[in-house]
Structure 1
Amino acid sequence: MTGRVRGALAAAAGALGFLTRVPVGRDGDAWAAFTAAPAAAVVPGYVVGALAAVVVAAPLAVASDLPVASVAFAYVLAVYALVGVNNLDGVADCGDAMVVHGDRDRRREVLADTTTGVGALAAVSLVVAGLALGAVAVAGTAPFVAVAVVLAAEVGARVGLAALAAFGSAPHDGLGSAITEGAGVGTAVLALALAGPAVAWPLLAAGSTLAGAASGAVAVAAAGAFAGALAGTAVVGAWATRRLGGPNGDVFGAATEVARVLGLHAGVLAWTLS
């Protein structure tokens, strides 16, 4: 096994250990490998997206008349069982920083404050509600559409993370700077390349029908979910650059959560309009 392959595997393990609750890649070497190659963030996108998609699509395939709210709740539970709630802490901190009055220094001070304010409560509530409602919409589609949307939204959120690392500059030393320092334009390009299968796979069945869903429409849904996730990251990244001076660890977490939510909604919207 070459050094390059070993490095790629170590980076993937580090990404899984840092971005999910999967019990791998928890040591310092794996973390160092991940920060040196942030495009590896796409790997957890596939793992989490595939497992969460099964939670939604399998019940729908077995019994299409199941209550969509129950299937959606199972999806929300699966997501946070797989990724934990650290990202929601980032949402909370960014929520408080968003509503406070003052300059960048004041917002950074609030971002680091452990006190939970109304901005944090509102931000977390909106994100969780948005995720649940998006999951309800996904659960109301065909099983293959659900797989396409959930997978593309999750992978898109991780591509967004890699792009944020590539084009952002952390405002201070810490978790954010550890990720951004090892990233560049090549990071974003590689992440996009790795994400290709998550969007393109329905096209492999072009001209056929995927469990009652035209493959072309499924591909549109996947593309919509992917684009929505990237848009969510861009919104959070633009806010962080303007208001904080760049992304830190909390911003990366918040961007991932917002990207997932917008990805689900955009994917279902694309499916509905296709």
Structure 2
Amino acid sequence: MVLSALRGALVFLTRLPVGHTDAAWGAFSESPWAFPLAGYVVGALLSVPFLFGTAGLPVSTVALAYLLAVVAVTGINHLDGVADAGDAAVVHGDRADRREVLKDTTVGVGAVAAVALVVAGLGLGALGVAGLPVRVALAVVVAAEVGAKAGMAAVACLGVAPHDGLGAQFTGRAASTDLAPALAVALPAALLSWPSPAAFGALAGAVAAGVGTLRWLTGLLGGANGDVFGAVNEVGRVVGLHAGVVVWTLS
């Protein structure tokens, strides 16, 4: 069950060639804890560029390598959620009007601005992480990724889909009580940089940003669809990286 749910999570969250099966997808859609569990795998892969910091490469090069790794490992599907949310946020109208914009394939100014902010934030966060001691940098990247995925689990457990679709496949099968096991799976990531609290900062920052984004978009759209899952993931990762660097700097 665990391996099947993890496999389904990796199919949804990454571009890794793990193979899609209906059984794995069904196990994943019923197991919100699989989101942060997959976050450990994704975070470990995304942390690899920071190992090159020991080779004396410039921090800017390491940060760029991280951005490329994010695209290579996770693709851009979740970033599309940021774009759609950005367009919906600038619409003058009610929730129905905003949800209608989500179906529009035209890229508006709101989408461009939202994606630009997220990519810039991710690059600057990676630049800060690249300046940390290697062990701490690796811990922050993994913790931020686990936290971002815990945020997605929160969407599944606390969100209500406004219509049948991708979001409903998760929200319709999860209850608020399922969030506790998901957070329990995520919690060990806070200890990865021990005795430094940097990983805790990255995890807490990512989860808080995810829940905050969920509440904002739920109010904006009247529910949590697939775009909300994507936006929560991307915003959580960015805030997690910055929070980890800030905590390290202040500690």
Q: Output the TM-score relative to the length of structure 1.
A: 0.89
Deviation at 1:257, TM superposition (A): 0.3
From 33, 52, 55, give the equivalent of 2:27.
33
Deviation at 1:25, TM superposition (A): 4.4
Cα deviation, 1:88-123, whole Å, max 9, x if unaligned, reads 111111100001110000000001111110000011
Q: Quick check: 1:16–1:43 contact (8 Å CA) kept in 2?
A: no
From 158, 169, 173, give the equivalent of 2:160.
169
From 55, 61, 80, give the equivalent of 1:89.
80
| Distance in 2 (alpha carbons) for counterparts of 1:92 and 1:72 | 23
| Distance in 2 (alpha carbons) for counterparts of 1:237 and 1:244 | 10
Deviation at 1:83, TM superposition (A): 0.5
Largest Rg, 1 or 2:
1
Quick check: 1:221 aligned with 2:214? no
| Distance in 2 (alpha carbons) for counterparts of 1:55 and 1:48 | 13
Partner of 2:184: 193
| Distance in 1 (alpha carbons) for counterparts of 2:64 and 2:16 | 21
Q: Quick check: 1:95–1:122 contact (8 Å CA) kept in 2?
A: yes
From 2, 25, 36, give the equivalent of 1:8.
2
Cα deviation, 1:24-79, whole Å, max 9, x if unaligned, reads 241222211111112211122111101111211x112232xx21110000001001
Q: Output the TM-score relative to the length of structure 2.
A: 0.97
From 224, 234, 237, give the equivalent of 1:247.
224
Q: Quick check: 2:136–2:193 contact (8 Å CA) kept in 1?
A: no
Q: Quick check: 1:18–1:25 contact (8 Å CA) kept in 2?
A: no
| Distance in 2 (alpha carbons) for counterparts of 1:78 and 1:272 | 25
- Write the letter of the residue equivalent to 2:106: T
| Distance in 2 (alpha carbons) for counterparts of 1:53 and 1:120 | 28
| Distance in 2 (alpha carbons) for counterparts of 1:202 and 1:239 | 31
| Distance in 2 (alpha carbons) for counterparts of 1:74 and 1:226 | 22
Deviation at 1:189, TM superposition (A): 1.0
| Distance in 1 (alpha carbons) for counterparts of 2:215 and 2:183 | 20
CA RMSD of the aligned region, Å?
A: 1.1
Moved over 6 A (4+): none
Q: Quick check: 2:162–2:223 contact (8 Å CA) kept in 1?
A: yes
From 54, 58, 73, give the equivalent of 1:61.
54
Identity %: 58
Quick check: 1:126 aligned with 2:103? no
* Number of aligned residue pairs: 251
| Distance in 1 (alpha carbons) for counterparts of 2:5 and 2:60 | 37
- Write the letter of the residue equivalent to 2:134: P
User: Which runs of no fewer than 5 residues in structure 1 stay unpaired?
Assistant: 1-6, 204-215
Q: Quick check: 2:206–2:236 contact (8 Å CA) kept in 1?
A: yes
Q: Quick check: 1:18–1:26 contact (8 Å CA) kept in 2?
A: no
Partner of 1:4: none
| Distance in 2 (alpha carbons) for counterparts of 1:202 and 1:142 | 10
Partner of 1:159: 150
SS of the equivalent of 2:39 reads helix
Deviation at 1:136, TM superposition (A): 0.4
